[in-house]
Chain A
């Protein structure tokens, strides 16, 4: 099958996909229909002019385009690992039509001109690039950035991701100061003094491996601090990559009190447990290995399993899955973190934390659906409509809307391997595994940006 990429500067597309299942979490609709797209907009089925390509959609599902709230595109400064062009192609390949670029680049995105530069590079990319600006100058955790200028330049949120705002006072000031912009502070909730020197989640696996353990309190103390500050200031708080049931419970209680808080979880914290560091390669919803035998020399201590926060224990991962299922977790966000091989194929304790996620997130979610942990509608809401709403983007398949959608084959499977990935980096422990769900078409802003054998891009 021919694989083709387009970009947002292409001409708006016109096509019909006949007989596909159309699933739209924005209005709860779900049924077999013809998808008609004319000049980049979704049209009603009756008004199809002649000469429009008509594709067989039987067995395929059409859903709103996915939106990633947490993406490291690495440009500027880390172009060896990823660029805006390669990262957005990876996004399109994975069904994402929007990525929110994190500001921990080199230099960081802490000035309006830098934000505007990334946005301008994104105009011809294969997915919409939204920018999260640094919350503090130089991400140094000392003084706030010029948030109103940054918002005017197009920032959709603020974050010092990679670290939490270091002091409660500065976090309070940030939540207050962001008020006029209406934009959220995205917090990487981790107490540096508790996390210092740790390499994986504390627990029986860390004990066995002799790796210093990260206590769940490292996340919880910052979550509780920030919830108190958001409640007091009325500021908008978004907690990214939650990894513990305790933090999720705190968020649930705060939501019940009316605190303006939202949160996301990564696909890897849902699907991979801390046992993956010891070489486990079964997803959290499957029956785990009892770990009684020897570690597998091929998979144990794989630096590609080092992430921050560290992979959770299985109980927490399953609690987070329930949070996605019941909607108390607002979004699944990839934390796509490309690294070159020399930074991950090293001693575990030397490995750069993070793994790629844009091209595997949807398939991991579909594996959870296949396992009965999530409904397809809940997965799509967490990957598309809800995260999009958090950054003010519309999603939906109603006639009249701009076509922004993903067409995928839920029954097809694919093998994760270097040659199957379009990201510049391949740092994921999923290499060699076979996952469900193949994206066949991604349409962003009315343009076909990815086509896998559908024949719209040649």
Chain B
């Protein structure tokens, strides 16, 4: 393993496969760097950071359709001076039967040093990490992990909750079982000292009671009571149609958020959503647009978080 020295912190891995690999100190330093790069970018003061990845090529391999994560990574890479190459793998060589490893080895041989990988299969980034010489940045693998989303959520929450998550309770509502966001958030937020409450239809929270520092709430009110912040997850409409829940109407009636229900949480508790939202299903359009919503800040923080990770891994 190559140790990556980054001034006041060191990542011991050459990949970012999940946030579970980051110690609390690594995590906090990464969040600090993400916030700093975000602010410098917003104020046009990136300075030397704009050359940090000069000569470095980052391949974007999104095997699943994605807009915001791909664009966020692409911008982050360019802001740091890297060349970003979109492999457009959805619907190209994959259809011709080329294996994931072959595609990644091809990318490596063209001179890319890093791959940002989004894949429908849990564990795909681990396979690439051990089968190629690329540095692998997991941009979401199946229902397993989405580490940069967890970093941007942690940056957002930390700032919204007064600078620390110690002793804070975060409610995660919705299809937790199929959510890579929820899993990575649980790793990151619990490591930062938060407690997690999950709530959703039984099939969507099954098994999470056995996760350390996670509690499963029987209903929305119980999930929100005492929560310092609320994370709602996207309902995959095709999954809802598959019969795991009675109907979207029933989901919204039991688990959908509006201003009145949000009052069950602590006063002023903010609401987050990884996007894209199904307005009127997970939460009302009003709530998504209200000052309680941190959804816009999550997107802005996403670029900063990805810049931080890219600069740490490519160092």
Do A and B assemble together?
yes
**C-alpha gap A350/B127 in the complex (Å):** 12
Of all chain B residues, the one with the shortest Cβ separation from A298 is B130
**C-alpha gap A213/B178 in the complex (Å):** 11
Nearest CB in chain B: distance from A227 CB, A:
28
Contact pick for A300, options B119, B121, B123, B131, CB 8 Å? B123
Given A207-B211, A347-B100, A347-B127, CB of A297 within 8 Å of CB of B13? yes
Binds B, one of A85-93, A163-171, A198-206, A430-438: A198-206
How large, as a class, is the contact surface on chain B? Answer: 20 to 34
Of all chain B residues, the one with the shortest Cβ separation from A297 is B129
Asked whether B211 lies within 8 Å of A208 as measured between CB atoms, the reply is yes
Residues of B within 8 A of A (CB): 13, 15, 17-18, 20-21, 99-101, 119, 121-124, 126-127, 129-131, 141-145, 177-178, 180, 183, 207-208, 210-212
Q: Does A392 contact B (CB under 8 A)?
A: no
**C-alpha gap A298/B208 in the complex (Å):** 26
Q: Does A32 contact B (CB under 8 A)?
A: no
Asked whether A295 lies within 8 Å of B126 as measured between CB atoms, the reply is yes
Given A295-B18, A342-B99, A349-B142, CB of A210 within 8 Å of CB of B126? no
**C-alpha gap A350/B211 in the complex (Å):** 27
Contact with B along A191-226 (1 / 0, CB 8 A): 000000000001110111111010000000000000
Nearest CB in chain B: distance from A293 CB, A:
7
**C-alpha gap A300/B178 in the complex (Å):** 19
Asked whether A210 lies within 8 Å of B183 as measured between CB atoms, the reply is yes
Beyond A210-B144, A297-B126, A297-B130: 13 further Cβ-contacts under 8 Å? A204-B207, A204-B210, A207-B208, A210-B141, A211-B142, A213-B207, A294-B18, A295-B20, A301-B122, A347-B119, A347-B121, A348-B121, A349-B121
Asked whether A347 lies within 8 Å of B124 as measured between CB atoms, the reply is yes
Asked whether B17 lies within 8 Å of A202 as measured between CB atoms, the reply is no
| 29 contacts across the A-B interface (CB closer than 8 A) | A203-B207, A204-B211, A207-B210, A208-B183, A209-B122, A210-B142, A210-B143, A210-B145, A211-B123, A211-B143, A213-B207, A293-B20, A294-B17, A294-B18, A294-B20, A294-B21, A295-B20, A295-B21, A295-B126, A297-B17, A300-B123, A301-B124, A303-B127, A345-B101, A346-B100, A346-B127, A347-B119, A348-B127, A349-B122
Nearest CB in chain B: distance from A72 CB, A:
23
**C-alpha gap A293/B21 in the complex (Å):** 7
**C-alpha gap A206/B212 in the complex (Å):** 14
Say what secondary structure dominates the interface of chain A: loop
Q: Which of A271-325 contact B (CB under 8 A)?
A: 292-295, 297-298, 300-301, 303
**C-alpha gap A293/B126 in the complex (Å):** 15
Asked whether A207 lies within 8 Å of B99 as measured between CB atoms, the reply is no
**C-alpha gap A301/B124 in the complex (Å):** 8
Of the listed residues A211, A300, A342, A350, the one surrounded by the most CB atoms of chain B closer than 10 A to its CB is A300
Contact pick for B122, options A294, A297, A348, CB 8 Å? A348
Listed from nearest, the 7 A-B pairs whose CB atoms lie closest are A301-B123, A210-B143, A294-B21, A210-B144, A347-B121, A207-B207, A348-B123
Asked whether A297 lies within 8 Å of B100 as measured between CB atoms, the reply is no
Total residue contacts A-B, CB cutoff 8 A? 83
The total of chain A residues at the interface (CB under 8 A) is 26
Of the listed residues B15, B119, B142, B212, the one surrounded by the most CB atoms of chain A closer than 10 A to its CB is B142
Asked whether B20 lies within 8 Å of A301 as measured between CB atoms, the reply is no
Of the listed residues B99, B101, B123, B127, the one surrounded by the most CB atoms of chain A closer than 10 A to its CB is B123
**C-alpha gap A113/B212 in the complex (Å):** 58
Nearest CB in chain A: distance from B265 CB, A:
25
Of all chain A residues, the one with the shortest Cβ separation from B100 is A347
Asked whether A209 lies within 8 Å of B207 as measured between CB atoms, the reply is no
Asked whether A350 lies within 8 Å of B207 as measured between CB atoms, the reply is no
Nearest CB in chain B: distance from A218 CB, A:
15
Asked whether A301 lies within 8 Å of B127 as measured between CB atoms, the reply is yes
Nearest CB in chain A: distance from B121 CB, A:
4
Of the listed residues A206, A211, A297, A350, the one surrounded by the most CB atoms of chain B closer than 10 A to its CB is A297
Of all chain B residues, the one with the shortest Cβ separation from A279 is B126
Nearest CB in chain B: distance from A231 CB, A:
34
Residues of A within 8 A of B212 (CB): 292
**C-alpha gap A395/B143 in the complex (Å):** 50
Nearest CB in chain A: distance from B102 CB, A:
10
Residues of B within 8 A of A203 (CB): 207, 210
Nearest CB in chain A: distance from B276 CB, A:
20
Residues of B within 8 A of A348 (CB): 121-123, 127
Given A295-B20, A349-B142, CB of A209 within 8 Å of CB of B123? yes
**C-alpha gap A297/B131 in the complex (Å):** 10
Nearest CB in chain A: distance from B32 CB, A:
21
Of all chain A residues, the one with the shortest Cβ separation from B14 is A297
Residues of A within 8 A of B143 (CB): 210-211
Asked whether A295 lies within 8 Å of B124 as measured between CB atoms, the reply is no
Of all chain A residues, the one with the shortest Cβ separation from B141 is A210
Of all chain A residues, the one with the shortest Cβ separation from B17 is A297
**C-alpha gap A293/B187 in the complex (Å):** 10
Of the listed residues A293, A294, A298, the one surrounded by the most CB atoms of chain B closer than 10 A to its CB is A294
Asked whether B126 lies within 8 Å of A345 as measured between CB atoms, the reply is no
**C-alpha gap A321/B121 in the complex (Å):** 33
Nearest CB in chain B: distance from A251 CB, A:
27
**C-alpha gap A211/B180 in the complex (Å):** 11
Residues of B within 8 A of A347 (CB): 100, 119, 121, 123-124, 127
Asked whether B126 lies within 8 Å of A301 as measured between CB atoms, the reply is yes
Of all chain B residues, the one with the shortest Cβ separation from A350 is B121
Given A203-B207, A208-B183, A210-B143, CB of A346 within 8 Å of CB of B123? no
Of all chain A residues, the one with the shortest Cβ separation from B207 is A207
